Amino acid sequence: MYESLKSRILSPWRFTRWLYLVMGVTIVIQGFYAHQTMGIALGGYFAAMAIFGFGCAGGNCNVPVNPEKYKNTEVDYEEIK
């Protein structure tokens, strides 16, 4: 488990991960100064998404399409009267 956590943190950092990290830290700081625990929690969630690479920050928002599945499909057409 430790190695998988280490590999998730050290996996390639793309623009979205950096953006989520900056947004998360900014929200945490603003929540701290405003004494809002929900703001700190929300910022912590965004920062955790960036650090551990889960959710959209890890590039998991799209659904991969398998082109082989649709390559040789037969289509039956019916005439509508």
> Is the residue at 72 inside a domain?
no
* CA–CA dist 10, 46 (Å, integer): 17
Q: Does residue 76 lie in a domain region?
A: no
| pTM of the predicted protein model | 0.66
Instruction: Specify whether the CB–CB gap between 42 and 25 falls below 8 A.
Output: no
Question: How many structural domains comprise the chain?
Answer: 1
Provide the residue type at 42 as one letter.
Answer: L
pLDDT in tens, 18-70: 999 999 999 999 999 999 999 999 999 999 988 888 877 666 676 667 767 66
Using CA atoms, how far apart are residues 25 and 63, in angstroms rounded to an integer?
Answer: 28
The token pair at 54 is: 């889960």
Residue 22 domain boundaries: 2-59
Residue 66 inside a domain? The answer is no
